[in-house]
Amino acid sequence: MKRLRLFSPLAFLGLAVLLLNASIARSETSIQRSFRFNPGQSLIVDTERCNISIVGSDRDDITITAECNDEIEKYHKLEFAELSAGLKIKSRALDREEEHESLLDRLGIHFGNSRRIEKLNLTISIPQQANIQICNSRGKIEISSIDGDVDVANTRSPVYCTNITGSLDLANSRDRIEVSSVDGPVDIQNSRGAIYVSNLLSGGKIVNSRGNIHLDSSSGDFIISNSRGHTEVNGLRGRVNGSSSRGNLKVSFAGQPTGDCELKTNRGHLEICVPENSAASITADVNRGKVYSDRPVFYKYDRGGVITGDKSENSPNLKLSATRGNIRIKSSGS
């Protein structure tokens, strides 16, 4: 009888190493793609659970680097589509159930499946003259040096934008927003996260809920609204209509307001600061509060309303009102 020839243990070990190397060779934790991209075209990014970094440069193409701590295809379905108007990047996160037995599992106590999603990191270098449109969730977004319009929607992760020469339309929730140096008008909305903006040149609209708003060193016409958060505006060159509910509102002008302003609070204090030589006419009215002023005061209402300043036709009118809060009018030395 012939004896069967078996593989030795060393042979099996060598085969296992070859299979492992082949698996590593096929798996990709990093992908890089380049596409032709003409100045003025649009980049559309439709993703989830992605950290996105976009930087404008002098290059004449677009380069995308995608990185993940594990194999990309395990956790994300990543697609690229060249369009007549530019390029579209689409990625969908794939839920993967992790099977592990904990002490609670052994006791028969279960709270549902445990899921782990490895985030995808997208680093994009793009010509400066480009328009950007992003829809993302649960991933940080960073955009800088773009000569075009930017439109961003995100949730549960921070958004940072700087050096944008076009308009900015930005919506986020449950995390912070930081914006600086935008030449065009802005429309910024957030909820349950702070908003920090500075060096805006063309005004715009800023809305928040359950988070603070900070606006510094900006110019133009602004509409600001906040609920359950404090709002502070410093060094404004322009005019503003602002409202705050259950939070304080503080506005400081760097020069003469360029037009009429209306500021009001409900269950919060209101403070404004105008240059000492300003010709603005200020009217203040309070309900269940007091008015304090560093400027000449004329008491018009029993409840504490005041009018002060130049009454000429060309002077801007500042209308202040507070319910269940005080009003403070201050003068700066400039």
Q: Each residue of 41-80: b (16+ CB within 10 Å) or e?
A: bbbbbebbbbbbbbebeeeeebebebbbeeebeebbebee
> What was the pLDDT predicted at 111?
52
> What was the pLDDT predicted at 27?
52
Residues 238-249: tens digit of each pLDDT: 999 999 999 999
> What was the pLDDT predicted at 100?
44
pTM of the model: 0.85
> What was the pLDDT predicted at 84?
95
CA distances from 305 to 1, 43, 166, 313, 332 (A): 114, 53, 42, 21, 22
> What was the pLDDT predicted at 324?
95
DSSP 3-state of 38: coil
DSSP 3-state of 219: strand
- Interacting residues of 278 by C-beta distance below 8 A, sequence separation 6+: 253, 256, 257, 309, 331
Q: Which parts of the chain register pLDDT below 50?
A: 1-7, 10-26, 97-101, 110, 112-114, 302, 334
User: With DSSP H G I counted as helix, E B as strand and the rest as coil, what are the percentages for the chain, rounded to 5?
Assistant: 10, 55, 40
Q: How crowded is residue 29: how many other Cβ atoms within 10 Å of its Cβ?
A: 14
> What was the pLDDT predicted at 193?
98
> What was the pLDDT predicted at 180?
98
234 vs 218: CA distance, rounded Å = 8
User: Closest by alpha carbon to 269, among 228, 328, 329?
Assistant: 328
> What was the pLDDT predicted at 306?
53
How many whole angstroms from its chain centre is CA 175? 8
How many whole angstroms from its chain centre is CA 93? 22
> What was the pLDDT predicted at 3?
46
Long-range contacts from 3-12, C-beta under 8 angstroms, 24+ separation: none
